[in-house]
Amino acid sequence: MTVATRFAPSPTGYLHVGGARTALYCWLYARKTQGKFILRIEDTDLERSTQASVQAILDAMDWLNLDYDEGPYYQTKRFERYHQVILQLVKENKAYRCYCSKERLDQLREHQMANKEKPRYDGHCRHVQHKETGSFVVRFRNPETGIVEFDDLIRGKLIVDNAELDDLIIARSDGSPTYNFTVVVDDWDMQITHVIRGDDHINNTPRQINILRALGATPPLYAHVPMILGSDGKRLSKRHGAVSVMQYREEGFLPQALLNYLVRLGWSHGDQEIFSIKELVTLFEIQDIHKAPAAFNDEKLRWLNQHYIKTSNPHSIAKELTWHMEQLEININQGPPLVELVKIQAERAKTLREMAEKSRYFYTDEVTYHADAVAKHMTLDAKQILQDVILALSQLTEWHKEAIHEVILAVSEKLTMKLGKVAQPIRVAVTGDTISPPIDATLQLLGRERVLKRLRTAVQTLFY
Ligand code: GLU
């Protein structure tokens, strides 16, 4: 049997980290078993679903590199199929028309609440004959006795008494199918073998199993993943800051760092913290997903991000950095290749956004001088330093960091100053501030022309 998993988001907002983690678990399990991973957009709630959310979900899946083998399927395009299955169930007497008015149902609920009973439909229309007129909904005829039992791959055996479940509405009075029903038809039609989803759906599962059985389908296996908590122990939400996957992108996180972070948030393999995707595909097991909810920890995500910035292939970092440079309107054609930039900045940036912000001076002719840096370092001594450096650098035949280093060393010896003291005014002159990668590497990457031009401008404009 081929494994088939699905990620089935409702497009009522961006893709949040909880959804991304569920998608990742589904994806990993499909890849591990060489099965199929399906993307299904559950957009039947017409009021809350938007095209912008659909796009946001697709973009986030793309950014995270969670590729799918089928889909995206859209539930709104499958209404005919749902309708057909509803008719079939009615014909087989497994579902029935319910003509109960809103008033009757309200009264029933009030009565039950007053008696401290769980509000539920009382089966009033179960045996009513079809009427020619009047508005109706269609209800699934849930078994009245017996139990529903399933082995949740994370939670273990779960048993629900059918007496607890009432007859669920599967079609509203306008004929539109309801949520639990569309999920069932889709999981059946798409031959899903493993439903991995948030545990907020666990109460739906026995109902869905009953409908699947009525349809003659074998229910899939279920794995309900516990929720993600914020640092205060409450369910993770916007209050805790970023929850949207794409907001993490904007803040400068790498997809591989976010994935590594998310996989560990609720799953483990011994004490190991760092996993390549390839390793995860081999090691991942649904049974190892934790039962208890996990709390989101920004610090750890930052730590992982830095790890991946330092250790990933500079070409892959450069690809992601391109996007950030565009966001900051930095023209990457006006400076060194991004791969070279990544090589010298990787050690000094915690996020790619920070790397982009700290690299602007490589890609523009206009240096922004920071007043404090100028006041502190552009002393009279500094003017001498810069003049000597200009002279020596303009005579250099080869423009690489070793030769540049020799020049700065020679100037420091000539002026009997420490190397650091000589480097700082040069740094301010070419970058505008006091922090940059090592000065020789910075100058090499900036290029001879830009360096000499900036040093000359500094001499002319930053001293009185
Ligand atoms: N559409 C549901 C949601 O976004 C998921 C349903 C499911 O996975 O079965 O919460």
Residue 235: predicted pLDDT: 87
Domain boundary pick from 225, 254, 270: 225
**Does the beta carbon of 11 sit less than 6 angstroms from any atom of ligand 1?**
no
Q: For a pocket test of ligand 1, which of 197, 202, 228 has the largest count of ligand atoms closer than 8 A to its C-beta?
A: 197
pTM (2 d.p.): 0.93
Give CA–CA dist 459/382, Å, rounded: 9
**Does the beta carbon of 197 sit less than 6 angstroms from any atom of ligand 1?**
yes
**Does the beta carbon of 183 sit less than 6 angstroms from any atom of ligand 1?**
yes
Q: Which of 23, 65, 63 is nearest to 250 (CA)?
A: 63
Residues 162-191, buried b or exposed e (16+ Cβ, 10 A)? eeebbbbbbbeeeeebbbbbbbbbbbbebe
In the set 77, 238, 291, 310, the catalytic residue is 238
Give CA–CA dist 211/95, Å, rounded: 10
Q: Are residues 420 and 326 in the same domain?
A: no
**Does the beta carbon of 204 sit less than 6 angstroms from any atom of ligand 1?**
no
- For residue 79, the CA-to-ligand 1 centroid distance in Å is 18
Give CA–CA dist 42/177, Å, rounded: 12
Residue 463: predicted pLDDT: 85
- For residue 247, the CA-to-ligand 1 centroid distance in Å is 22
Give CA–CA dist 201/140, Å, rounded: 19
**Does the beta carbon of 42 sit less than 6 angstroms from any atom of ligand 1?**
yes
Q: Residue 280: inside a domain, yes or no?
A: yes
Q: Are residues 115 and 246 in the same domain?
A: no
**Does the beta carbon of 43 sit less than 6 angstroms from any atom of ligand 1?**
no
In the annotation, is 238 catalytic? yes
Give CA–CA dist 339/317, Å, rounded: 8
Residue 281: predicted pLDDT: 98
Q: Are residues 199 and 141 in the same domain?
A: yes
Please give the C-alpha separations between residue 159 and each of 189, 192, 196, 221, 289, in angstroms, as whole numbers.
26, 22, 18, 14, 21
**CATH no. for residue 454?**
1.10.10.350
**CATH no. for residue 274?**
3.40.50.620
Number of domains in the chain: 4
Sequence-ordered strand ranges (E) for 86-152: 95-98, 137-140, 147-152
221 forms beta bridges with: 194
Residue 233: predicted pLDDT: 86
Q: What is the pLDDT along the chain (464 residues), one digit of tens a residue?
A: 899 999 999 999 999 999 999 999 999 999 999 999 999 999 999 899 999 999 999 999 999 999 999 999 999 999 999 999 999 999 999 999 999 999 999 999 999 999 999 899 999 999 988 877 789 999 999 999 999 999 999 999 999 999 999 999 999 999 999 999 999 999 999 999 999 999 999 999 999 999 999 999 999 999 999 999 998 888 888 778 778 999 999 999 999 999 999 999 999 999 999 999 999 999 999 999 999 999 999 999 999 999 999 999 999 999 999 999 999 999 999 999 999 999 999 999 999 999 999 999 999 998 999 999 999 999 989 999 999 999 999 999 999 999 999 999 999 999 999 999 999 999 999 999 999 999 999 999 999 999 999 999 999 998 87
**Does the beta carbon of 302 sit less than 6 angstroms from any atom of ligand 1?**
no
Q: Are residues 234 and 289 in the same domain?
A: yes
Which residues have a Cβ under 8 Å from the Cβ of 38 and sit 6 or more positions away? 4, 5, 6, 7, 68, 69, 70, 71, 73, 190, 192
Specify whether the CB–CB gap between 23 and 214 falls below 8 A. Answer: no
- For residue 96, the CA-to-ligand 1 centroid distance in Å is 26
Residue 298: predicted pLDDT: 92
Specify whether the CB–CB gap between 430 and 457 falls below 8 A. Answer: no
**Does the beta carbon of 10 sit less than 6 angstroms from any atom of ligand 1?**
yes
**Does the beta carbon of 8 sit less than 6 angstroms from any atom of ligand 1?**
yes
Q: What six digits make up the tokens of 348?
A: 């000094």
Q: Are residues 219 and 82 in the same domain?
A: yes
Q: Residue 204: inside a domain, yes or no?
A: yes
Q: Are residues 282 and 353 in the same domain?
A: no
Q: Residue 307: inside a domain, yes or no?
A: no
- For residue 183, the CA-to-ligand 1 centroid distance in Å is 8
Residue 132: predicted pLDDT: 77
Q: Residue 289: inside a domain, yes or no?
A: yes
**Burial of 395 from C-beta contacts in 10 A (0-12 / 13-18 / 19+):** exposed
Q: Which of 451, 463, 431, 32 is nearest to 269 (CA)?
A: 32
Q: Residue 193: inside a domain, yes or no?
A: yes
- For residue 9, the CA-to-ligand 1 centroid distance in Å is 5
Domain boundary pick from 322, 341, 363: 363
Domain boundary pick from 225, 259, 278: 225
Give CA–CA dist 261/301, Å, rounded: 6
- For residue 412, the CA-to-ligand 1 centroid distance in Å is 66
Which atom of ligand 1 lies nearest, measured to the CA of 9? Answer: 4
Q: Are residues 354 and 424 in the same domain?
A: no
Q: Are residues 90 and 172 in the same domain?
A: yes
Pairing verdict, β 70-74 and 169-171:
unpaired
Q: Are residues 50 and 158 in the same domain?
A: no
Residue 247: predicted pLDDT: 96
Q: Are residues 282 and 320 in the same domain?
A: no
Q: For a pocket test of ligand 1, which of 5, 6, 10, 45 has the largest count of ligand atoms closer than 8 A to its C-beta?
A: 10
Domain range for 253: 4-76+227-301
Q: Residue 395: inside a domain, yes or no?
A: yes
Q: Are residues 168 and 277 in the same domain?
A: no
Q: Are residues 117 and 170 in the same domain?
A: yes
Q: What six digits make up the tokens of 140?
A: 């699934």
Specify whether the CB–CB gap between 459 and 410 falls below 8 A. Answer: no
- Residue owning tokens 């009522």: 12
Give CA–CA dist 73/191, Å, rounded: 14
